[in-house]
Structure 1
Amino acid sequence: MSFKIDRGLFKYDFIDYHAILGVPINTSIQDIRKRYLKIARRLHPDSCALSGEVEKELASDLLSKLVNPAYEKLSQEKNYTEYILVLSQMGKRLVQESASVELTSDVAKQLVSIPNLEQAYKMAIAKIAETQYNYLQQSIEVIAQISELNLVYLMRSAGKAVSTPPPPPKPTLNSTTPQPNTATAPPPPPAAAKEDSAAEHYLRRAQTLIDKNQFAQAKVELQDALKLEPKNSRCHSLIALVYMKQNQLKMAKIHFDNALKLDPNDQLALTWKPKIEKALGLRPTSSQVTSPPKTATKQPDKSGGGGLFGGLFGGKKK
């Protein structure tokens, strides 16, 4: 069973792990663990008190597809720190797009203007989370409600942070004043660098997982990296490699195409895309006809008769 949530932070192609676990943003790892154990006891087939097969299956799906991945993401300090960084960037984005933000729940609408944000936010989530997984058919709706609260909290918190430093003045009458202002201008570059470093962490972890043939986990890391940097050619070429290893050749071709559009010299894409097109029975595109690597065009000809994976992965045996 697949779960689709299109409200709150989920609406921005972002997985709100805090909403899935029913905890406020910036909750400590220890409290996240306590919350997870409580939910797991409720949903795990060995400990849940559900009697119907349909509800048991739903509980198992919620645990394996939503709750467990959320806990895995937030329970490790390194992952948690990176995720909080991504959330801060999301808050800045929400401030810029505040005019188009849509809220459906009354609680979220009230949180927009309530004076004591921190206390009201935490109390609202605590109240909603009490019954988050009591009625499994409504769990997705509850997750969406909590995610709307997280969205409002991020937007208001980021709004305060943005308004704290005064905007850099740009006077034109006095030629001496711009010099001290340029000394206070560097705040934006560090933010961009942090975002890049967060994506780079995902890429490094994905490469390590690929080396260990753990392709499913690598794909999750690369999908997160693409959310940070959708125009990163390396992200596209690596996730294309993962799809290829999983025998999803059409998806692999799409991402190799994207990688070459962003970087025509991407060696991974130049090497593997012709082999995939040959396996799919397609004519090579102009990007492969003019591609420099000679080995990328010779290997498929030698192993083309050995079946799909013989053609794609047989080159290393030669």
Structure 2
Amino acid sequence: MQVNRGLFKLDLVDHHAILGVPLDADAKQVRKRYLKIARKLHPDSLRTASDEQKQQASELLSKLVNPAYEVLSQEKASVEHKVSLRLKGEQLQKQPALLALSTEQSKKVANSNNIDYEYANALKQLILEQYESLDTVLEAIGEISELNAVYVMRQGGAPAPAENKSASTPAAQGTAATADNSTVRMKSASERREELINSFINRAKEFEYKGNFSRAIVELREAVKAHPQNPICHAELGRMYMRSNQLKMAGIHTKRALEIDPKNQTAADVKKKLDAHAKHLGKNPPDSNTPPATGVRGVPKKPGGGLFGGLFGGKKGK
């Protein structure tokens, strides 16, 4: 009872694929899915099945489903498993040729600009019939694991792997493989760097779209850490800090972006809003070295309503 696709091919037991739960599933989701599968594989649900099918269901439950649930339902084991997933993602970033895509779902995720949406949509379709037929369970687990492998690789910003296409002759296959490898070798360092930067920014925008500014900031901080001289990274981070109302940090990264590239439009727009807000409050811009305006006895004046509560939030009622 073996699966040799996706993450299984990298010597990792893909517990998420076995249960058919997303990689970010919480304990509640894991338990709900496990109970549903366990009921399907229980002898009471297989009264009309043959003895061979009952034995097959029993083995699926004892050798795959139960162990997967034990790992994902225990916090320590689950965290360790997620670390392993991250490491496999990093391995695939460095060696994308290890993953050959064979399903339309995984190809979509590999080439999507919105991987979270495509991944969730593809997974939803795959798990509908995952345990409907005992004869196709292992195949379904393999397809889901392939999808998971693409997702963990894309999360690290790796380029899409080559599709597993069949050629008319062995010679044609060899030619195609050579062409693919040449393309990878010819990709310049600047192109690879741009791909990585775009992956950070795209993930940040996905989190921004969901209203999760803190996660977006984490992604952009990683981008700045990896590419400290890139004005786009600093500008996007400054913009995200502004959206989360962290004006001082917004000013720092906006200023840095403009130092590197004075024509960066994103940074210029953020600076304009920060300056307007500071003027509205009677204070110096966040990136200025001069002290803020003070009130009685040198006590700093309190801002009125935050970034979007003052100038950008309209007047308060009297």
TM-score, with normalisation over the residues of structure 2? 0.50
The structure with more radius of gyration: 2
TM-score, with normalisation over the residues of structure 1? 0.50
